[in-house]
Each structure stands twice: as structure tokens, then as C-alpha cells.
Amino acid sequence: MPNVAEPDAAGARGTSGIIEGLSERLQAVNCRIAEAARAAGRSPDDVRLIAVSKTFPPALLRTAYGAGQRDFGENYVQEALDKMAQLDDLDIVWHFIGPIQSNKTRPIAESFDWVHSVDRAKIAERLSAQRPAEREPLRICLQVNLGAEVTKGGVSPEDVPALARVVRSLPRLQLRGLMAIPEPTDDVRHQRERFAQLRRLLDSLALRNEGVDMLSMGMSDDLESAVAEGATLVRIGRAVFGERIRLRDGAP
Ligand SMILES: *Cc1c(COP(=O)(O)O)cnc(C)c1O
């Protein structure tokens, strides 16, 4: 059995405890995004909020949906499939943002709209081969490992152009941009430097690749820095749903 987050993260507090206040938290996050965008001279409409719902039960996604949220991010395949089955009546845009094992590419290719964590050619090839013909091409962001952190996935910055060429050559994938998860730091200057580095990589990629314009960067603690540096997709978990309970060793 895959390790599903069944006794859900909400368990300790009770799902109803989190549902209460969820739409206010969502609104507060949307305000943070809008303020950061305006401060940077950008339109708030150019930044899309992805609510990262890993470990949280379907009832919370349904509540967030009722409050207007459409994009949701998930890290674990089996957990996501269970939620999709229960939320089948909603028009959700599903983003896969977790590490990808090559034996899990099929359900990702079949069920998600976006994948943010492609970091090697083999995964890209499998996703393209397994994407059903009747679905739109799978939107892809390449995950970049900016700080050469050994514990983290992601293609190194030097290898981005070659991997981008592979993805562009695959018929059932549509390359849309880059994603990064920089090492956490409270130092705003350091946050911004990392995000700026990803933006420069995207700028140079975009010169040769039309339609590659998405920067997936920024989480609960650094979304302002990310938006200031050009984020178009921010992936926000805790600020929307509250603290996660760690369900597995090493689960983020
Ligand atoms: C969990 C996760 C997030 C959300 O992080 P928060 O700090 O809860 O906002 C964003 N991106 C990825 C890849 C994640 O795994």
C-alpha cells in the first residue's frame, strides 16, 4: 500500500477547525500577492496562486474551491489521485509539484494539468509517451536546483537549455517555464537573489522559446520576494491551510 495521508493532517485539530477561517486566509494570501505585485509595478492578475494541499483532506480543497480557488498543488501521487476521485465534480486545475519517480509517471501524465518538477529527460519522455491523446498537452516547468543542494531535485542551471530542447521535442508536452525551491532563509536579499537567478535563466530561455514565460517560485514565507522578482505561479501551502503535520519521515 502506498503511504496515503489518510488520517489526515487536519486530524488533530479536526477538519472543521481548519475550514473555519479558510476563506479568510485565502483572501489574506491573495492580498499579499496583490500588494507585492503592485509594489513591483506588476498586475496582480499576472500572478496565479496555487494552493498546495498536500496532507490536507478533500473537504478543505472543496471549501477553498467554494471560496474561488481553482489551482491546487499536490506532491504525492496516490494521495492526489484519491482527492481527484472525491472532487471529480469540481473544475480544478491540478499541479504536480513533488519529486517524480519514473514508475509513477503514468498516473501523473493521465491526471494532472501541469507538472512543475521535471528535472531529467527520462521523466519527460515517459510523461509525453503516457499523456492520453484526448487530453491537452501536459504543461511543464523544469525544476532547477539553484544552489547545487545535494538533497534536492532539479536540473543544474547549466543543463537547463539541453533539457528544455528535449521537452520541446516531445509531442505531448508543452514547455511553459521554470520552477525552483531555494533553500529557506529569512534574509530577504538572499531570497531575492535566488529568485532573480531563476528569472534570468527564464529570460535567456525565452529568447529562443516562444511561450515559455512561467516562473513557478515563492512559498508561504517568501512569496513577496518571489513576486518582486517576477513569479507568475506561487505555490502556497501553510499560509492557506495552516501547519502540516509530518506524516512520513522526510515529508515536507
Ligand atoms: C509544500 C510545498 C510548497 C508549499 O510550501 P509552504 O511553505 O507550505 O507554503 C510549495 N512548493 C513545493 C514544491 C512544496 O513541496
Q: What is the pLDDT of residues 55-107, one digit of tens each?
A: 999 999 999 999 999 999 999 999 999 999 999 999 999 999 999 999 999 99
Say if residue 252's pLDDT is above 80: no
pLDDT band (50, 70, 90) for residue 149: confident
Q: How far is the CA of 218 from the centre of ligand 1 (A)?
A: 9
Highest-scoring range by mean pLDDT, 14-18, 118-122, 244-248: 118-122
The closest of 58, 56, 94 to 73, measured between CA atoms, is 94
3-state secondary structure of 67: coil
Ligand 1 within 6 A of CB of 198: no
Q: Which ligand 1 atom is at minimum distance from the Cα of 219?
A: 9
Decide: 112 and 96 in contact? Cβ < 8 Å: yes
**Angle made by CA atoms 224, 228, 230, in degrees to the nearest 5:** 120
| Cα-to-centroid distance, 167 and ligand 1 (Å) | 24
Three-state DSSP at 34 gives helix
55: left (phi over 0), alpha (psi -120 to 50) or beta: left
Residue 209 CA, chain-centre distance (Å), reads 22
Q: How far apart are CA 27 and CA 39, in angstroms?
A: 18
Answer left, alpha or beta for residue 182, where phi above 0 means left and psi between -120 and 50 means alpha: beta
What is the pTM assigned to this prediction? Answer: 0.92
What is the per-residue pLDDT for 1?
42
Q: Where are the beta strands (DSSP E) in 123-198?
A: 138-143, 173-179
Backbone phi, then psi, for 10, in 5-degree steps? -75, -15
* Helix (H) / strand (E) containing 51: strand 48-52
Pocket test for ligand 1, best of 74, 97, 198 (most atoms within 8 A of CB): 97
- Terminal alpha carbon distance of the chain: 20
Which residue type, as a one-letter code, is found at position 50?
A: I
Report whether residue 99 contacts ligand 1, using a CB cutoff of 6 Å: no
Nearest residue (by CA) to ligand 1, atom 4, is 237
Output the CA 217–ligand 1 centroid distance in Å. Answer: 10
